Amino acid sequence: MTAAPQTESDHRLPRTVIPARYQLVLEPDLPGASFTGMLDVDVDVTTAVDHVLLNAAELEITGAEVDGRPVPFTLQPATERVRLDVSLEPGPARVHLEFTGTLNDKLRGWYRSTYRDEDGREQVIATSQMQTTDCRRAFPCWDEPDLKAVFDVTLVVEPHLLAISNGAEVERTERPDGRHAVRFAPTMPMSTYLVAFVVGPLEATEPVMVPKLDGGEIPLRIVHVPGKGRLTGFGLDVGAFALEWYQRYYGIPYPTDKCDMVALPDFAAGAMENLGCITYRESLLLCDPATSTQAEQQLVADVVTHELAHMWFGDLVTMRWWNGIWLNEAFATFMEVACCDAYRPDWKRWTTFSLERTMAFDTDALVSTRSVEFPVAAPDECAGMFDVLTYQKGGALLRMLEQYLGEEEFRRGISHYLTVHEHGNTETGDLWDAIEAVNPATPVRRMMDSWIWQPGHPLVEARLDGDRLHLRQQRFHVAGADLGADAATVFVVPLHLRNGDVSWKVLLDAAEATVALPHPDEPVLVNAGGHGFVRVAYTDELRARLTGSALSSLSIIDRYNLVDDAWNAVVAGRLASTDFLSFVEGFAGERDLAVWQAMGIGLRGVGRLLDGGAYERFQERVRDLVAPAMADLGWEPAEDEDDLTGKLRGTLVGLLGALGDDADAQQRCRRIVEAPDGVDPELVAAAITVVATVGDEADYERFLATFRAAPTPQDQLRALYALADFPTAELVGRTLELALGGEVKTQNAPFLLGRCIANRHHGRLAWDFVRRHWTQANAAFPENTIVRMIDPVRLLTDPDVVADVQSFFAEHPIPQSAKTLDQVLERQRVNAALRAREQERLSAAMAG
Ligand SMILES: [Zn+2]
């Protein structure tokens, strides 16, 4: 009499029993690192069943009842499920479970985070990270994003501890044992991966009251470890701005009753968009504007605006399954830049976004790149989606679409999408259809499908054909890559063209096209404004029209792209590195930060091709190139200077002192490091990097002491990561030991080891160390950080090290990041080939 479950698989629960409302009581024991829980779930039985399946992992179930009657149950660890043997007819039912679990140290599920208080005693926080499928480690649940439900949470805690969850506290009762049962407002229907609870000796700021679009107010707070309240002002300011801005942008009120942002000492990712209870690494939420750099502040602003964007896009409207995670993240990346640009127009956020686009291009030029979206069966398969192609490429594609449609036209499409699908779950195509519905003249779905489902991006070659412009697209790739038939991939490319004083848009949706030019003798700019996710190759004639005196008429992004495209033409084997160097030297008059950042990427790349005397002569040329700009700017910031000018100074000091090995700059940097009080933070940060590259043991001790007693997370990380840059094997060796010694948080240690691998002189030593400690590192560090730790092996290009790295990973795969590992290894081979190809000619040119 019982029907078979509908579409049950190892990864998908049957849709025969659907949760509607969870009532959850959790009682953590912080010193004991454990918790007990009691759960009542109101479910709808859609089809008669003889058992109920839900997810549970690493929990001990101590009792199970359905509709008040005890039922037998079985744990199925392989599929992370619990099976209740009970026959149910269609209609409502109530599932009751009691369970215990462990507060783990793996930074997932419900886990322990620790800090030392003023008296040096360790204090414990219990905090949660559910995405992707770790909610089942905190309580039994239907752990799939489209099984949205209401969560009614109560935490039973020691009275001196702060306890928060997704909803606002609505009730507090003292129990006979003195503990407090703190009940939170039931949530809107939402996915399990957004559930959060945090309990610990923490403090909260006074709430900032942000107006709600439909009346009322949103209390916004930052929760932090005691003593760090003075670092919350900036994050609160950004957060309040973003909450107002998003409500207007989306045209929808903030979807819940309060907003807590929690700064945690231990966090595997950067931050997590739990509805109304957003968790962050401390360095991404807490900062002191007086002592932090623009980059450090922008990072906080980016992450805060990113997470708040998710409250609507992700939390209110959610992907149906994990294949949709890319859109969730790409969209939040796009919005973070848009909102940050509105928050601080002087930071020119859409211009500096070029750097992120470059990062995406780098990976996307490899044979081992992937399509942005791909089918996901097991949830684990989406772990590889949290990468540069999702965030940076996905964000850049949305920017490209927005600029083609127009900002207001795009915004109306987004608002329409969120309104139509409110509280629901969607597939990617639903977004394109919603945007197209309000912009019927543009083939949004056809265009975006060509970018989402095909890997790579086009190289658009431009040449003159009489009075016309001839455009041809083919897939861009690094030298030596064999794309086979994929080289002919055709994208639907929205292009902005400029010729003389005329600008217009075309949709290049075939391999070739010819376009009439209004002023055939004047400069022609393809991808004007730089929003297209394309590389451009001009003929010598067309490029010559854009350089020299014409440079100053180009926008910053256009100049950025000229440099970036040129360096990548070297990587692609279409331009000699010697020609690139001369080309960049034509930018000596450049005074914009973003363009100097592009130049810096190329110059560091060239530096990696050289050794010995040739490298020293290259460093001389770097000094000659940078010195005039530095002299113009001076070492002393002007009174009314804007943030980006200060940041440019820091960038130039880094180029001059570290890459250029300029003795005078190094002397000045040392004086700054010895007496940093009152010095501009941009100079302090740059000086630390410069001094580390030439530092001695005394410098090392100074940075180590700063790491141990830094007043802000930013000061701490600057000092810590600089320990990787020292010039002697002995000091780098100390840093390697430090990374694994337990003193460095496991959230930071993998990045410290990675930075040691990037050390120009001792990368091999660091690689050997990581290789020897592979098992230990994998056991100690969060899973998602392992591939990031070894990412800099791409810079190790000596043939024997290349062989060693490649064969090591053949035997030691990183299953949670298999695709990213492939990309790192391919990039290493590409870099090694580039060096082999260019070194001789470039060295000879340096001698001449
Ligand atoms: Zn996100």
Name the 3-class secondary structure at 55. strand
For the chain, how big is the Rg over CA atoms in Å? Answer: 28
Write the burial class of residue 371 (CB in 10 Å: 0-12 exposed, 13-18 middle, 19+ buried): middle
**305 CA → ligand 1 middle, Å:** 10
**277 CA → ligand 1 middle, Å:** 14
Distance CA 224, CA 240 (A): 17
Distances (CA, A) of 58 to 9, 425, 461: 21, 28, 56
**194 CA → ligand 1 middle, Å:** 12
- pLDDT for 38-95, tens place per residue? 999 999 999 999 999 999 999 999 999 999 999 999 999 999 999 999 999 999 999 9
Q: What is the 3-state secondary structure (H, E, C) of 554-612?
A: CCHHHHHHHHHHHHHHHHCCCCCHHHHHHHHHCCCCCCCHHHHHHHHHHHHHHHCCCCH
Distance CA 568, CA 365 (A): 9
| Token output for 47 | 């089809």
Sign (positive/negative) of CA torsion 794, 799, 803, 805?
negative
Go through 387-422 and write b for each residue having 16 or more CB atoms within 10 A of its CB, e for each that does not: bbbbbbbbbbbbbbbbbbbeeeebbbbbbbbbeebe
Whether 304 and 235 have beta carbons less than 8 Å apart is answered as: yes
**826 CA → ligand 1 middle, Å:** 27
Amino acid identity, residue 525?
Answer: L
Instruction: Tell which residue, 569, 550, 555, has the closest CA to residue 527.
Output: 555
- pLDDT for 579-599, tens place per residue? 999 999 999 999 999 999 999
Strand partners, 425: 318
Per-residue model confidence (pLDDT) at position 8: 63
**96 CA → ligand 1 middle, Å:** 33
**747 CA → ligand 1 middle, Å:** 18
**648 CA → ligand 1 middle, Å:** 29
**300 CA → ligand 1 middle, Å:** 14
Q: Distance of alpha carbon 158 from its chain centroid, rounded?
A: 36
Whether 410 and 435 have beta carbons less than 8 Å apart is answered as: yes
Listed as ranges, residues in the chain with pLDDT below 70 are 1-8, 848
pTM for the model: 0.96
Distance CA 690, CA 655 (A): 9
Per-residue model confidence (pLDDT) at position 160: 96
Go through 542-566 and write b for each residue having 16 or more CB atoms within 10 A of its CB, e for each that does not: bbebbbeeebeebebbbbbbbbbbb
Distance CA 554, CA 532 (A): 16
Name the 3-class secondary structure at 433. helix
**272 CA → ligand 1 middle, Å:** 7
Distances (CA, A) of 243 to 61, 350, 594: 40, 20, 29
**327 CA → ligand 1 middle, Å:** 10
Whether 265 and 122 have beta carbons less than 8 Å apart is answered as: no
Q: Is 307 a catalytic residue?
A: yes
Per-residue model confidence (pLDDT) at position 7: 56
Per-residue model confidence (pLDDT) at position 5: 39
Instruction: Tell which residue, 172, 154, 165, has the closest CA to residue 197.
Output: 165
Distant-in-sequence, close-in-space partners of 521: CB < 8 Å, separation ≥ 6: none
Per-residue model confidence (pLDDT) at position 3: 38
Choose the catalytic residue: 27, 144, 307, 402.
307
**775 CA → ligand 1 middle, Å:** 30
**303 CA → ligand 1 middle, Å:** 8
**533 CA → ligand 1 middle, Å:** 21
